[in-house]
Structure 1
Amino acid sequence: MSPQNPVLSHHISSQFNENLQDVNTKFMTMGGLVEQQVANAVRSLLDTDANLATTVQEEDGVVNRLESEIDEALTLILARRHPAASDLRMVIAMSKANTDLERIGDEAAKIARIAKSLCEEGESPRGYVETRHIGNQVRLMIREALDAFARLDAEQALRVMMADADIDREYQSATRTLMTYMIEDPRHITRVINVMWVLRALERIGDHARNIAEQVIYMVKGFDARHTSVEEIEEKIQGR
């Protein structure tokens, strides 16, 4: 698992440090679980594995429980410890990133549900190459966003944001290709549309990974990176 978050290493209150470390550990555990959910959901589709898809759906309940536990722990920290400055930023950032992790789990469960449907209806004739490629990319984005969170690495967080722009372009290209195929051969419209929904879910997962990266920048630099261009963020991070 990722190394201890450096923000957690220096506090006057050892109890405060312990509270933060406990919730941070649970957050990283949840992150690892949702990353695996995404990988398994995509694999269940590509391998026509209905049992694996069912496992992904069942694990969504575990993710939901972790989200609730993390929210409760962060609320208690705010109520009892009254953190300020960088500690407060970390609590706020983790709270927002926690929501994004849960939503990644929801998207993985959605992919698994579509995979089960395609297992029954028959594989789609198109779109699996794009699914494999974009699936691998978003899984890497999740891992790198969580690693940036653990190490408070604003530059790596920026790279995650740049990767999201690439995902968006590839998603749009894949969608155009599949729409053209459906027009040319309408016999497989339903199955191809299902694959398009999978690609849409993967694109949203990339968005959530970007959101987590934005929270890293907020923790480290203290400014809101949402609704800000990558170029502006890069200038602020590098102090230009």
Structure 2
Amino acid sequence: MTECSQQGFSNEMAQARQRVQAISSLALQQFQLALQAYSKHDAGLAQQALNQLQKAHDFEQAMDDHCLDMLSHSASGGELRLVLALLKAISDIEYICGQSALIAQQALLAANSQPQAQQLAAINTLAEPVANMLTLALAALQQRSITQAEQALSLAPTVNRCYGAILRSNLDNTDNLAGHLDSALGVNWVARALERIAEHSANLAKHAIFLAKVSSGQSLRVELQPRRR
């Protein structure tokens, strides 16, 4: 690779990191808005969260084009892997935005079938580790921090435990929820969306580890595509 091409790739990588930071901030803000909308039954907040979904899609499209430009300046295997990892990370972030939009939609649908107090408490219990996982994963991606990525991954068992508890509780209380079926289904949808956000946050953490290792030259033989268990 010529010195000019290498400088061009470095400049475009710096711009890509700025774009990642922007869409990360958008995803985190949308997630927080959606949770507040659902907890407070606030239609205004829900609509704000929904309005940000198009912005996330536009970010992904712009990042796709940017990465194509970066490929024209890349030649080494490490640089190609960096570009592919960025593309996968942006795709995961957009998916997280989509799941946040689903939570916001449930806030609008719950106007006539609001969840019970214990259901909201269970959702909040699940949302806390998911929020921490997402925050850590996004920070790890921006800073290429293996430590923060590993902290995010360590929260996965807690998320799975809280998610399973919600599903079991709704199944065990089927008779008592006969008159609140819509709210129970809504709670399940929100819990499912939170679990999906956690899984894609785990993907982001793995992408962050990959980017950190490749950028530092530690190894090129690291896993690029996280494998779902």
TM-score (norm 1): 0.84
Please tell me whether residue 72 in structure 1 is matched to residue 71 in structure 2: no
Judged with a 3 Å threshold, the aligned counterparts in structure 2 of structure 1 residues 228 and 197 are, in CA distance, closer, same or farther, namely closer
1:59 to 36, 52, 57: 52
CA distance in structure 1 between the partners assigned to 2:39 and 2:85 by the alignment = 35
SS where residue 122 of structure 1 aligns?
A: coil
Q: Who is 1:84 aligned against? A: 76
- Structure 2 residue runs without a partner (length 5+): 214-218
Residues 41, 111 of structure 1: 8 Å contact kept: yes
Q: CA deviation at 1:206?
A: 0.2
Which amino acid in the other structure matches residue 190 of structure 2?
V
- Distance (Å, rounded) in 2 between the aligned partners of 1:96 and 1:228: 14
Query: Would you say the 8 A contact 1:154–1:217 is kept in 2?
Result: yes
Shifted more, 35-44 versus 84-93: the winner is 84-93
Q: How does 1:57-206 map to 2 (within 5 A)?
A: 57-78=50-71, 80-119=72-111, 121-125=112-116, 126-206=118-198
Cα RMSD between the aligned structures? 1.9
Q: Is the 8 A contact 1:42 1:131 kept in 2?
A: no
User: TM-score, normalised to structure 2's length?
Assistant: 0.88
Q: Conserved in 2, the CA contact under 8 Å of 1:35 and 1:143?
A: yes
CA drift at 1:158: 2.0
Q: Which letter maps to 1:185?
A: L
Q: CA deviation at 1:228?
A: 8.2
Of stretches 125-134 and 202-211 in structure 1, the one that deviates more from structure 2 is 125-134
Structure 1 unmatched runs, 5+:
1-10, 230-240
Give the length in aligned residue pairs: 217
Cα distance in 2, alignment partners of residues 18 and 90 from structure 1: 14
Task: For 1:25-40, list aligned pairs within 5 A.
Answer: 25-40=18-33
Mapped to 2, the partners of 1:208 and 1:216 lie a distance apart of 12
Other-structure match for 1:23: 16
1:94-146 residue CA offsets vs partner (Å, 9 max, x unmatched): 11010000000000111111110102x13111411121222232222122112
Q: Is the 8 A contact 1:30 1:66 kept in 2?
A: yes
Match of 1:224 in 2: 223
Alpha-carbon distance change, 228 to 191 in structure 1, aligned in 2, over 3 angstroms: closer
